[in-house]
Each structure stands twice: as C-alpha cells, then as structure tokens.
Structure 1
Amino acid sequence: MSQSPGASHWRSDEQAWPLVTAVVPTKDRPQLLARAVQSVIDQDYPGDIECLVVFDGTEPIAPQVRTRAGRTVQVLVNNRTPGLAGNRNTGYLAGTGELVGSCDDDDEWLPGKLRAQVALLREHPEASAAASGFVYSYRGKEIARQADKPALTFADLLNDRHLEANASTYLIPRSALVDKIGLVDEKLPGGYAEDYELLLRAARFGPIVCVPEPQSRVYLHDSSFFASRWQTINDALVYLLERVPEFRQDPAGLARIEGQLAFSQAALGNRRQAATYALRSLRKSRRARQSYAALLVAGRLVSADRVLAGARRFGRGI
C-alpha cells in the first residue's frame, strides 16, 4: 500500500468556493430523480454547482426542478459500459468541477453537505476524499448515523465497511479521481459495492475525512430484494477479494467478506457452500454476523429476504 501526503493535490483558493460537479445516475425513476436533483440545487453552498443527470439505457428527460443562479442542470446519456459504474464515469469525465460527488437518484443531499465537506477538505489537503454521516430511511423510519471516525484509513476500510463512506456521501477532488485513484470499476460484476471498491482505492493515497453529522439521506426499498441478484453479489465479492489481496492481512475484514459470501450462497440455495464459508469466517472472527445469518438461511429456518428486511429495519445490511 502506498500513501503520500497531499496525494489529492487539491489546493483550492481559500477565498473562493470551488465549482462542484454533482453526478446523478438514473434509470426509470422520474419522480425520485426530481427529488434528488432538487436537493443538489438547494445546497446551502456559496459556490457554483453543475448537476449532471446521466441516463442509462432510457430516454433522457430533464427533471422538473426549480433552479437558481449558480446552479446548472445538464442531461447526459451513459456512453460507457451499461450500468451504474458506466453511468457515474460518464458524469465524472464530463464534469468540469474541481470536486465531484454523486447522489443516487433515490437519495438526497442535505442542505449543508457541500459547505461542510469543502471546508473539511481545505483543512486536510492530505485527504483523498471526504465523506459524512447520513440519515438511513427505510419504510418511513429514519435512523441518523454519525460518522464513526474523523478520518478513515485504508486499514479502517479493510476492517469494516464504514457505511458513512458511500456513493451519496463522498466528495473527491476530480483531478485525483481521474489521474490517480481511477474511475469507478466497470468490470465489477453488477456494479455491486462499486463505491466501497472505489473508496478503498482512494484510501491508498490518503485518508477519507468525515463530517460527523449526517449530510445525506439514503433510502432503501423493498423492491431491491430479489433472488436473481445473489449470484451477482457473490461474483462481485469474489472479484473484490481478488482486487484487494490485503483483506487476507485483516482476519476480521476477511471474515466479514466471507460471511457475505456465505449469505449469498445460502440465498442461492447452496447450503454446503454456505456452511463452508460461514464456518471459515467464524474461525477468523466470532463477530461476523453475516455468517450466523447465513447458517440460519442455509438451515431453512428463515428466508434470505426476511433476514435482509429485518437487518434494514435497524439500519444495517448484510
């Protein structure tokens, strides 16, 4: 792992607020899209914001929003690999801001997000990115989750997922993203955990500084629970372990990924493979909760969707 001070090379004039590019990837969710874009436009941020709405495989239609001075909205079409990763990258490459962020089309940025994160990046020029706490919204219930640490290192992200660093919270110097960290990995199966993989790469070059308080609202929906995704999730996790061999140096972090593999195998009905992964995981760490859930599903005591729904009620995933 290589880390170097000031790896972001971002030195914005402290008297000026830099232009920020906000990328909103979307597909077939016009009402949710309008809410997401409006939350970008309504930022309590003194600088300019360009919002790039990137459509993936659907007719591009400009969202109906209220705009104002210093805010622009542009509609683009994904010209790269179909899917979420290509969508984000289309926007990141088209953007002209010094800083780039993303807001999923079913999420929202809270009003103070950009002001707080830009100020934090100014204080920490060695940082590779900024993240923040967030509000987790599921079935009308909201759980505010503060960032666990003021800064996340590569080792921190190996050890735990740290959900405060996600696609709708991060803000990254664009030059570092394009020239050093690298774009979103378009080879990652199904784009699963693409934000986590990207931020692992970012953290190799410098810490990810975090605004403790929630600055985004992240919505989860029951519509995302469907069995055909489990093979994609499994393939993506295997790919992640191949891309990041350092997981093998962190027993707790590897146990978490193996627990997720156990759960995906259990959801697919592969009971023997699920038990193998779960027991391997628990030998490394008894705290790998995904492995216990996998054993319950493999034992046919509960369905995978029911476990996942229960976890989401408490603001967690698998």
Structure 2
Amino acid sequence: MPAQSSATLPSVSVVIATRGRPELLRSAVRAALGQEYAGEIEVIVVFDQVAVDPLEDVVVPAGPRALRTMSNDRTPGLAGGRNTGILAAGGELTSFCDDDDEWLPTKLIRQVQAWREDPAAVLVATGIRIVTPGRTVDRLPPERTEFAALLASRITEIHPSSFLLRRADLLGRIGLVDEVLPTSYGEDYDLLLRATRVGHILGIREPLVIIHWNRASFFSGKWQGIADGLSYLLDKHPEFAGSAAGSARIEGQIAFALAALGQLAGARSWAGRAIHHDRSQLRAYVAMAIAARLVPAGPLVNAVNRRGRGL
C-alpha cells in the first residue's frame, strides 16, 4: 500500500469481547495495536460476565493508537459484548477479533487497500490460518460472496476475527449483533446474512488472521444452545425454505446437537428433515449413528477440529 498519512486513512475500532482468557487476550490486543497501518486504531476490550482488567501491562505503541477496557453493559454473552464495543467505538470502521485469535501485521493495510478498489462491498474479510495441535491449515474466502451463496453454505473461511465493516452500517442498514439469538450461537452467520442483503462481501485470499483451535470453544459441548441457536436462525431467515442445501446443513447440525444430548426422537426427526432436503447431508447420518450410540459425539468433534474443520 502506498505510504499515506494517518489523515487520509479511516480510523478503525477493534472490538474484542472476552471472558476468561487473559494470556490469549493480551496476544490478541498486542497484535491489533501493532498493525502496520498509519491510520488511527483504538482497541476496545469488553469484559463479559467477569471483572474488568485494565490491561495495564500491555504497552500501547506510540502514534495514533489507544486501548480502552470496559464491562459488557448489555445482554450477557458474545452478542451483547460486541454491541457494547460497537456503541462505544469512535472509529469510522469496526472490526472484530476473538480473544484467542491474532492478526498478522498487514491485515488492516490489505483490507483498506482492497476496499478502496471495491467500495461497493459491505464487509471485507481475509483468509485465516487455523492452528491446531500438530497441524496448521490455511482457509481462504471467496473473492466475492453474496446472499445466495451464504444460504447454501456458512462459508467458514469468512471468519468473524477478520470482519471489517463500516460502523454506520452496523448502526443502520445492517444492524447490531442479534442479542436475542440463543447463547449467541451463530451470531456471526446471522450478521453475514444480514450484511449480504445490502451488499457483497469482499474476500482477501491471504491468511492474515491466526485462529487458535488448540483450546476448547465456549460452545464445545453446549449442545442445547447450539440446537436452539440454529433453530432460531432457520425461523429468522425464511429464505432457507428456498435453499435445500442450506436447510439440510442446518437441520443436520441440529440433529447432531440433539443426538449428543441424548434427545433421540428429536435427533431422528431433524435428521429426517435434513435427508429429505439433501440425501448427501453427512451430518444427518452421523447424528443417527450418535443417537444409536454407535459413535460418541465429543471425540468425533475433536477429531474434526484437529483437521481445521467444524461440524
């Protein structure tokens, strides 16, 4: 990117919602503050359901950089935490970073440069580098993603820790993160669906965010919240009725979650719906195998995660 003064670059607010990961959080904050970006960057750390840590041991680099910490004053959970940060932000652009992920130094430079070449984009994402025990996998997003593609597939290469949006869009035509969504599960997918109703997603096909999968997710094993969140998304977005592949994918995930809970009748019902929409929907068959106690859910999820994938 050509050398530019901070006055010619949009200011960026980085929202990091956190709970219970103090060391990983510090790495995320330092990486955001250490961007090779001449524009203004403020990092807003929102502590959810835990005491606020002022992060006094984190050195803020010289220049247009700032670090703020605060408590989630909205709905407990990830959605409320992110919205607290969005509403407190002063930057023209807003970006998210999970508290256990890290940005590579050129992330913001590449995003702002690409956005200037495609100003009609509503969101800019980058590739990710997934680090699991003994394995590193790069996942690159499509160069352009629209609503229909997201209905058919979550496109997990578009990861929330790489999102860059206009704050005005989050306060206006897209809207804030959905705090009604049960346990905030799928809040990033919901945001992407709403964003692509008004524009396309621009993808930078470089891995500029490190995703650490060598730890347990807050959602790991919380099957009821996963089932409830996905059911809510199906109801919220009626367009799924016109996408057999998209419906089957989510129905298969719900079946899997219910099977892991031991809710056999519900698991079989949702698996049947998934197979009706898409006979190749593997999650539905796996859910029935779990319901029949042929395979356990937990070790299966762990095995898939080690390959840089999710269910």
CA drift of 1:127 comes to 1.1
Does residue 139 of structure 2 align to residue 151 of structure 1?
A: no
Q: Distance in 1 between matches of 2:114 and 2:220?
A: 41
Q: Which residue of 2 aligns with 1:212?
A: 205
- Cα RMSD after superposing both structures: 1.8
Does residue 60 of structure 2 align to residue 67 of structure 1?
A: yes
Q: Equivalent residue of 1:224, what SS?
A: coil
Q: Equivalent residue of 2:162, what SS?
A: coil
Q: Equivalent residue of 2:165, what SS?
A: strand
Q: Distance in 1 between matches of 2:6 and 2:89?
A: 22
> Match for 1:193 among 182, 186, 191?
186
CA drift of 1:220 comes to 2.3
Q: Equivalent residue of 1:180, what SS?
A: coil
1:1-318 aligned at under 5 Å gives the runs: 16-63=8-55, 64-68=57-61, 69-147=63-141, 149-224=142-217, 229-318=222-311
Total equivalences in the alignment? 305
Q: Equivalent residue of 2:179, what SS?
A: coil
Q: Which runs of 4+ in 1 moved over 4 A?
A: 225-228
TM-score (norm 2): 0.94
Read off the aligned partner of 1:45 and give its amino acid letter. Y
Query: Which shows bigger deviation, 113-122 or 216-225?
Result: 216-225
Q: Distance in 2 between matches of 1:66 and 1:90?
A: 24
CA contact (8 A) 2:135 2:307 kept: no
Judged with a 3 Å threshold, the aligned counterparts in structure 2 of structure 1 residues 184 and 295 are, in CA distance, closer, same or farther, namely same
Judged with a 3 Å threshold, the aligned counterparts in structure 2 of structure 1 residues 14 and 67 are, in CA distance, closer, same or farther, namely closer
Q: Distance in 2 between matches of 1:221 and 1:143?
A: 13
Q: Equivalent residue of 2:94, what SS?
A: strand
CA drift of 1:308 comes to 0.5
CA drift of 1:277 comes to 1.6
Read off the aligned partner of 1:303 and give its amino acid letter. P
Q: Distance in 1 between matches of 2:248 and 2:198?
A: 25
Judged with a 3 Å threshold, the aligned counterparts in structure 2 of structure 1 residues 62 and 117 are, in CA distance, closer, same or farther, namely same
TM-score (norm 1): 0.92
Q: What percent identity do the matched residue pairs reach?
A: 44
CA contact (8 A) 1:293 1:307 kept: no
CA drift of 1:252 comes to 0.4
Read off the aligned partner of 2:40 and give its amino acid letter. D
Q: Equivalent residue of 1:187, what SS?
A: coil
Q: Distance in 1 between matches of 2:114 and 2:11?
A: 16
Read off the aligned partner of 2:104 and give its amino acid letter. L
Query: Which shows bigger deviation, 220-229 or 186-195?
Result: 220-229
CA drift of 1:228 comes to 5.8
- Structure 2: which 5+ residue stretches go unaligned? none
Read off the aligned partner of 1:293 and give its amino acid letter. V
CA contact (8 A) 2:111 2:204 kept: yes
CA contact (8 A) 1:166 1:196 kept: no
Read off the aligned partner of 2:119 and give its amino acid letter. P
Q: Distance in 1 between matches of 2:190 and 2:244?
A: 18
Query: Which shows bigger deviation, 280-289 or 198-207?
Result: 280-289
CA drift of 1:166 comes to 2.3
CA contact (8 A) 1:50 1:72 kept: yes
Q: Distance in 2 between matches of 1:40 and 1:14?
A: 16
Q: Equivalent residue of 1:25, what SS?
A: strand
Q: Deviations over 1:66-102 (max 9, x none)?
A: 3212211011111111111110000001101111001
Q: Distance in 1 between matches of 2:220 and 2:189?
A: 22
Q: Equivalent residue of 2:216, what SS?
A: helix
